[in-house]
Amino acid sequence: MKDAQLFIIGVCLLPSMFIAPAMAKTSMDSILESQAIPCSSELIQLADATLKTNPHRILSYTDKSDDIHLFNALAVTSYRDRDSHVSFHGVKNTAGRCDTSVTESYVLQTSCSDARHEAFSKWDFQGKLNDRTYVLNSKRIKGKQAFLTDQLPNICLVTTRQLISN
């Protein structure tokens, strides 16, 4: 009897192994469905990769449905330990292809020196913008930078940006 039960459970679960999981839908999908925006597919992919399944809200710069050449939207997204602001941009370049960017800012409750060693240890040091701001380049993600700026004794303002040129 146990073998029959296991067989039935296995047969019921087998199809789920072959069904690809649906892409997580972000608020970007809803905004771009209601507007004729250049670069919409690129922006949807960028939002999916950035926001993942984290709770978020997005506000586009304009809600007009006419064809604009530059798209901008700001999101607030929640992680388990902090919230962040995420800005998305998309524009058609002179070749008619889409260039997009994403910029995210948040605060860490630690010094930037500690953040550099803990969260950004695998990033290359590029330089300093001023005496309190480090500029780092991601080794894993082409075109991604981080800016770490000391605020109070144990607060670090972090801004990351990624430019995707096509």
What Å distances lie between residue 11 and 3, 7, 22, 55, CA to CA?
A: 12, 6, 22, 35
**Backbone phi and psi for residue 98, each to the nearest 5 degrees, phi listed first:** -100, 130
- pLDDT tens-digit series, residues 70-99: 788 888 888 888 889 999 888 888 888 888
81 and 96, same domain (yes or no): yes
Q: How far apart are CA 76 and CA 154, in angstroms?
A: 23
133: pLDDT strictly greater than 90: yes
Task: Look at residue 12 and tell me if it is in a domain.
Answer: no
**From CA 35, how far away is CA 10, in angstroms rounded?**
45
Residue 8 included in any domain: no
What are the DSSP E strand ranges found in 7-116?
A: 56-60, 70-78, 83-92, 98-108
Query: How would residue 43 be classed by pLDDT, with cut points 50, 70 and 90?
Result: confident
Q: From CA 99, how far away is CA 50, in angstroms rounded? A: 16
In 3D space, the residue among 98, 88, 93, 90 whose CA is nearest the CA of residue 70 turns out to be 90
Structurally, the chain folds into a number of domains equal to 2
Residue 6 has pLDDT above 80, yes or no: no
Domain annotation covers residue 42: yes
Looking at residue 65, its pLDDT comes to 53
Res 139 pLDDT > 50: yes
pLDDT, one tens digit per residue, over 47-65 is 878 877 777 777 676 656 5
90 located within any domain: yes
Q: Which domain holds residue 76?
A: 22-102
Regarding whether 93 and 27 lie in a shared domain, the answer is yes
* pLDDT tens readout for residues 9-23: 333 333 333 333 344
Residue 32 pLDDT grade (very low, low, confident, very high; cuts 50, 70, 90)? low
Q: Is residue 122 part of a domain?
A: yes
Same domain as 98, residue 36: yes
Q: What is the mean pLDDT of residues 104-123?
A: 94
Instruction: Give the Cα separation of 100 and 143 in Å (integer).
Output: 11
Q: How far apart, in whole angstroms, are the C-alpha atoms of residue 94 and residue 91?
A: 10
Q: Is residue 92 part of a domain?
A: yes
Residue 111 has pLDDT above 90, yes or no: yes
User: Does residue 17 lie in a domain region?
Assistant: no
Query: 46 and 89: one domain?
Result: yes
Which pLDDT belongs to residue 51?
Answer: 77
Structure confidence at residue 8 (pLDDT): 36
Is 116 in the same domain as 82?
no
Q: Is 80 exceeded by the pLDDT of residue 117?
A: yes
